[in-house]
Amino acid sequence: MKKTLKIYRLLLVQNIKTLMEYRIDFLTGALSFIIDQAVGIGFIFIIFSQIPQLAGFTLEQIVFIYGFSLIPKGLDHMFTDNLWSVGYFIVQKGDFDKYLTRPIDPLFHIIAEKFQIDAAGELIMGIALVCVSAGAANVVFTPLSVLFFIIAIIFASLIYTAIKIGTAALAFWIKVSGQITQVFYMTNEFAKYPTTIYSDFIRTVITYIVPFAFTGYYPCLYFLTGENPLFNIGGVVAVATILLLIALSIWKRGLKAYESAGS
Amino acid sequence: MRLGKIRKLYFPFTRASIQSTLMYSVNMIFFSLSELLYCFVMFYVWKAVFAASGGDDFMGFDMQDMFLYLFMTNVTAYLTMSQADSAIAEEIKDGSISMRLLKPVNFNLSVLFKDIANPMILFVMVFVPMTVCIEIYRGVTAGMVMFQPLNCLFYLLSGAVAYLISFYMNMSFGFLAFYVTNLWGMGILKKILLKFLSGAVIPLAFMPTVLKNILAFLPFASLSYTPVMIYIGKYSITEMLLNFGLQIFWLLMMFLLCKLIWKSAIKRLCVQGG
């Protein structure tokens, strides 16, 4: 464990050095993610200029859900962004061999290799929105709810990571799986709004199949209403754990099935 | 230049590009699928908005208009998508631009005829099936045929101009690669700004008056807002002609801008190795 942490720290330092090389790129990247979310919030404000409530939620509550959903998304984006490269080109180009020859776990190596600072845009925006809206949205912070908040954020991030690991691993069989990851990943857009606005079919899909509803709406429902912590918070932990186990087993099988594509 | 000569010189660029793009058609289908998910989220958000407002009018749009706006904006984004910038930037970076410069063809035209394969393929693979689905849904919910052939025709005309604006805009952007080494971050920023400025996220009609008027005049509205509003039938004949005129104006401006940047940029070109 100590060795792993040391390796992670060394790789991180290397990463930050390369970031300094492309400083402008980093700034424009982070700025774009902030603008993107700001436009999303502008949209919510325009809607609420015409209506008092959306699906029974006030403006501040919707902003809280929206902001909350950005935090796990940003965390996963920051720490595991390299998983995209597995599905898009690492396996296809035959570059995956490199990871198999090192004396550390390939999955850990892939993840540790890239630290995506651009995600700071999403994280800053998400935290700011949660802080600004929490008061007016009647979120009560007790020691217990703060603990639940931290747990929910960590496990919600793992839902993202698990979906990326599971779909990236498909590349071991089909060489390129980036688009499949993309389709699954885009489903997270549904997490930003109350699931009650969707049809039953969509609600079932985002709760039980691609469970992004647990990265936004469900945990927020607990913080906003105090209702049903077993499902709303426990669900996040359960879903993330199950999903991660499935993803890791796909990854393991994939490693066995992997044949180098390079020459 | 005679038409026959254009055909002989430039059509091979289009043909080759169509062939290579079709190789990635599966990628494209997945890509459009994931973009479509966003439309569905917005569709349900709007449905909830209309349910909450009680009426069937939101700043001059009803649910049918909103549905059309969302999905047609998505389709239009495909039709007018130009990849000229990344293609150019790539050629400048790896030096293969010298091969293109050596050929006895007009530089911009050869890129255009290569790039135009995109909207051609997307027209068949995305526009036709999507519009059919949209119109079937519209017809079923309204209980009658809602399709307006004339609007659709004008939409395609306006969409073609939108594509050309997008092409010259992207060319100008791609030429930045002569000055900046890494266009990646700028590319994302451009994409996100365009999404907002062209009214793809929030229809311009909903924005505060001052902002709306400014954005409606800027070239970005010409990229998707104008054709989509024509398709929905939100414009009177006069408005349509005015906006179409504005599109032509911006096309000329972008064309000139592209020429101007090219003139000064080409002097800086320095290909290493090769």
Using 50, 70 and 90 to split pLDDT, how confident is the model at B274? Answer: very low
The answer to whether the beta carbons of residues A34 and A125 sit under 8 Å apart is yes
Checking ipTM against 0.95, whether it exceeds it is: no
Query: Do residue A43 and residue B195 have CB atoms under 8 angstroms apart?
Result: no
- Tally A–B CB contacts below 8 A: 101
Q: What is the CA radius of gyration of chain A?
A: 19
Tell me how far apart the alpha carbons of residues B161 and A14 are, in angstroms, rounded to a whole number: 47
Angstroms from B9 CA to nearest CA on chain A: 35
pLDDT tens-digit readout, A209-252: 999 999 999 999 999 988 888 999 999 999 999 999 999 999 99
Name the residue with higher pLDDT: B184 or B260: B260
Tell me how far apart the alpha carbons of residues A214 and A159 are, in angstroms, rounded to a whole number: 8
Alpha helices in chain A (DSSP H): 2-21, 23-48, 59-80, 83-85, 97-100, 106-113, 120-134, 143-169, 171-174, 178-186, 200-204, 217-225, 229-232, 234-257
- pLDDT surpassing 80 at residue B177: no
So where are chain B's domains? 3-268
Does A55 touch chain B if contact means CB atoms closer than 8 Å? yes
Cα distances (angstroms) measured from residue B108 to each of A104, A223, B167: 50, 57, 10
Chain B residues within 8 A of A28 when measuring between CB atoms: 185-186, 188-189
Chain A residues within 8 A of B48 when measuring between CB atoms: 54-55, 193, 197
Interacting residues of B180 by C-beta distance below 8 A, sequence separation 6+: A24, B186
Chain B residues within 8 A of A185 when measuring between CB atoms: 34
Q: What is the pLDDT of residue A50?
A: 84
Does B211 touch chain A if contact means CB atoms closer than 8 Å? no
Does A105 touch chain B if contact means CB atoms closer than 8 Å? no
Number of CB atoms found within 10 A of residue B47's CB: 17
Query: Do residue A53 and residue B35 have CB atoms under 8 angstroms apart?
Result: no
Nearest to B182 among A22, A33, A46 (CB): A22
Using 50, 70 and 90 to split pLDDT, how confident is the model at A46? Answer: confident
Tell me how far apart the alpha carbons of residues A67 and A61 are, in angstroms, rounded to a whole number: 10
Residue A5 half-sphere exposure, CB side, CA atoms within 13 Å? 2
Q: Where are the beta strands (DSSP E) in chain B?
A: none
Angstroms from A197 CA to nearest CA on chain B: 6
Q: What is the pLDDT of residue A170?
A: 94
- Testing the interface with B: which of A61, A179, A200 to mutate, by most B Cβ within 10 A? A179
Query: Do residue B52 and residue A26 have CB atoms under 8 angstroms apart?
Result: no
